C-alpha cells in the first residue's frame, strides 16, 4: 500500500487556499492479489472447449486492465469475459477474468498467460496447456548448476503421460545431431531421455535440443537448454625470442603461447612502447588503371596468431608470433603481448636488449595501454649505467609535483641501470621526469597520448 500525490505543481497554491482540499488529493493504492490460472475441465482435451479463469482481488483504485496470451499471440477480447465488484465495507475492488478456448493438438505444451496491469504494476500468471492423452515434455535439466570444463554432465528431458512404445527422442547440439551416450529410463507413464557428455569449451553457449516425436503429435516437440559457466582466464607463457640475443636492424621472432582459456571471442595484440603493432606492413603501390593507390595483397605479415586448439585440459590454446626488425631507438624498450576478452586483460612483456645498438638517452614510456583522462596510468623511465642509490628522482604533472609515495625506484635485474616508475591519476597530462646524479641532472618530458 503506497500514497500517491497527483499534480504536485498545484499543491502549494491549493494548500494556501484550503489544506483540506490538498488532503483529499492523496489516494491510497492497494495492489491486487492474483490467483493462479484455473482450468475447467481440470484435464483438458484437444477439440473440446476449455475455460481458463483467474481471480484478481482487493485492489484500488478500480482501474485495472487484463490481456490473455497464447504463447506470444494475444487472444481476442471477444473470447474474454470479466466481472468486477466493489466491497462496500473496504471500498476495494475484485475482478474475475476468463477466456474460452478450444485447443488443438498443436496447443499441447503451449503456455497460456494472463497479464494484469494496475497502477503501473504488471502481474503475470501462466498456465501450461497439458492435453489429456498426449505426452507432456518438461524442461531440460542439467545435473550441474554451474558446470565446469572437463566435468561429466547429464542432461535430462522428462516426458509424462506417454507410452514408451510410441515415443522417440533425438538430441542436437546447435544444428548438429549428437551420437554420444544416450539412455532412456521408463517408469510407468513417464519416459526420461538422458544425454551424458564431457563438457568442453565448444559446448559453452551452445543450445542443446531434445526433439520428441510421438504417434499422437502431428509435429515433433522440442525442449532446449543452453550451457554456460564461469570464464577461465588465460595463462600466458614467457615471450620466446629468436635469436636469443636479438641484434639491431636484424629481424627477430617473438613467440608466445596462450593456454587454459574459455573465451572463443578474444583478441591478441602486440605493442611496442605503448603503440600497437599492425598485423602487416601496408605497402602501397600505384596502379596505372586507377588514380588512387591500392594496398598490396601480399604485404608481409608481422603478426600471425594460430587457430584455436583444445588442450588436454579441455580449454583453448593458441600461439602468436611477431616478426619485427628493431632499431637503435628500440633498445631498452618493451614489447608486450596483450590478450583481451570480455573484460579480461592479460599481458606479458619482454625488454629489448639489442646487440650492436648505440647507447641512447633515457626516455619516458607509458606502460598503461590506451590511457584515458580521469583514470590511473603508469609511466616509467629507464636510465642505463647508474644505480638507484646514486640518484634523486622526481615526477611532475604539469607544474605540480607528484607525491613521492606514488614513485617506485629500483635497479634493473641485469644490473645495467635503474628504473623509476610512477602510478597516478594525471590532471594535466604533460609529464616531466627529473633524475639527479653526481654526474649531473637528467630531464625528460612526455605528453600522455590520451584516447
pLDDT in tens, the chain (451 residues): 444 444 444 445 444 555 545 444 556 899 999 999 999 999 999 899 999 999 999 999 999 999 999 999 999 999 999 999 999 999 999 999 999 999 998 888 899 999 999 988 999 999 999 888 788 888 899 998 878 888 889 999 998 877 777 888 999 988 888 876 788 898 877 899 999 988 888 888 889 999 988 877 777 888 999 988 778 899 999 999 999 989 989 999 999 999 999 888 899 999 997 789 998 876 444 444 444 444 455 678 899 999 999 888 888 999 999 999 998 878 778 899 999 998 899 999 998 878 876 656 788 889 888 889 999 999 999 887 777 888 899 999 999 999 999 999 999 887 778 899 999 999 999 999 999 887 678 899 999 988 7
Distance between CA atoms of residues 380 and 365, nearest Å: 5
Distance between CA atoms of residues 156 and 159, nearest Å: 10
- What's the CATH number for 136-226? 2.60.40.10
Q: Categorise residue 313: left if φ over 0, alpha if ψ from -120 to 50, beta otherwise.
A: alpha
Identical fold at 31-128 and 361-451? yes
- What's the CATH number for 361-451? 2.60.40.10
Distance between CA atoms of residues 373 and 359, nearest Å: 34
Query: What residue segments make up the domains of the chain, in order of their start?
Result: 31-128, 136-226, 233-355, 361-451
Assess if CATH 2.40.50.180 describes domain 31-128.
no
Grid coordinates standing for 274? 605503448
Q: What is the pTM of this model?
A: 0.53
The residues facing 86 across adjacent strands are 93
CA angle 309/310/311 to nearest 5° reads: 110
| Class of the CATH domain delimited by 233-355 | mainly beta
Amino acid at each position: 500500500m503506497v500514497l500517491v500525490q497527483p499534480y504536485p505543481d498545484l499543491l502549494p497554491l491549493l494548500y494556501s487556499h484550503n489544506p483540506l482540499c490538498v488532503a483529499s488529493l492523496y489516494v491510497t493504492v492497494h495492489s491486487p492479489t492474483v490467483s493462479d490460472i484455473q482450468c475447467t475441465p481440470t484435464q483438458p482435451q484437444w477439440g473440446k472447449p476449455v475455460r481458463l479463469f483467474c481471480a484478481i482481488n482487493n485492489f484500488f483504485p478500480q482501474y485495472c486492465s487484463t490481456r490473455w496470451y497464447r504463447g506470444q499471440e494475444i487472444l481476442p477480447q471477444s473470447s474474454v469475459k470479466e466481472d468486477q465488484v466493489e466491497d462496500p465495507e473496504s471500498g476495494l475492488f475484485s475482478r474475475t477474468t476468463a477466456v474460452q478456448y478450444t485447443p488443438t493438438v498443436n496447443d499441447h505444451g503451449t503456455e497460456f498467460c494472463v497479464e494484469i496491469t494496475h497502477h503501473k504494476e504488471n502481474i503475470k500468471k501462466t498456465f501450461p496447456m497439458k492435453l489429456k492423452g498426449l505426452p507432456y515434455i518438461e524442461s531440460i535439466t542439467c545435473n550441474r548448476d554451474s558446470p565446469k570444463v572437463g566435468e561429466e554432465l547429464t542432461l535430462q528431458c522428462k516426458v509424462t503421460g506417454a507410452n514408451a512404445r510410441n515415443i522417440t527422442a533425438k538430441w542436437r547440439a546447435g544444428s548438429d545431431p549428437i551420437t554420444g551416450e544416450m539412455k532412456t529410463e521408463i517408469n510407468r507413464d513417464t519416459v526420461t531421455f538422458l544425454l551424458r557428455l564431457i563438457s568442453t569449451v565448444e559446448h559453452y553457449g551452445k543450445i542443446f535440443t531434445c526433439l520428441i516425436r510421438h504417434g499422437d503429435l502431428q509435429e515433433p516437440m522440442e525442449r532446449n537448454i543452453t550451457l554456460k559457466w564461469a570464464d577461465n582466464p588465460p595463462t600466458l607463457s614467457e615471450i620466446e625470442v629468436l635469436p636469443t640475443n636479438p641484434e639491431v636492424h636484424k629481424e627477430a621472432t617473438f613467440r608466445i603461447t596462450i593456454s587454459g582459456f574459455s573465451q572463443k571471442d578474444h583478441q591478441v595484440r602486440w605493442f611496442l612502447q605503448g603503440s600497437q603493432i599492425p598485423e602487416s606492413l601496408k605497402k602501397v603501390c600505384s596502379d596505372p588503371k586507377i588514380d588512387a593507390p591500392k594496398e598490396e595483397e601480399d604485404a608481409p605479415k608481422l603478426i600471425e596468431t594460430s587457430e584455436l586448439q583444445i588442450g588436454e585440459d579441455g580449454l583453448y590454446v593458441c600461439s602468436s608470433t611477431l616478426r619485427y626488425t628493431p632499431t637503435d631507438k628500440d633498445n631498452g624498450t618493451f614489447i608486450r603481448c596483450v590478450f583481451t576478452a570480455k573484460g579480461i586483460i592479460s599481458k606479458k612483456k619482454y625488454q629489448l636488449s639489442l646487440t650492436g645498438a648505440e647507447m641512447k638517452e633515457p626516455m619516458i614510456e607509458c606502460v598503461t595501454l590506451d590511457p584515458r583522462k580521469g583514470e590511473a596510468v603508469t609511466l616509467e623511465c629507464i636510465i642505463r649505467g647508474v644505480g638507484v642509490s646514486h640518484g634523486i628522482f622526481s615526477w611532475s604533472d604539469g607544474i605540480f609535483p607528484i607525491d613521492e609515495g606514488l614513485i617506485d625506484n629500483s635497479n634493473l635485474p641485469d644490473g645495467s641501470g635503474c628504473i623509476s616508475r610512477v602510478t597516478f591519476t594525471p590532471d594535466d597530462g604533460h609529464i616531466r621526469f627529473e633524475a639527479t646524479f653526481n654526474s649531473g641532472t637528467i630531464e625528460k618530458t612526455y605528453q600522455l597520448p590520451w584516447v
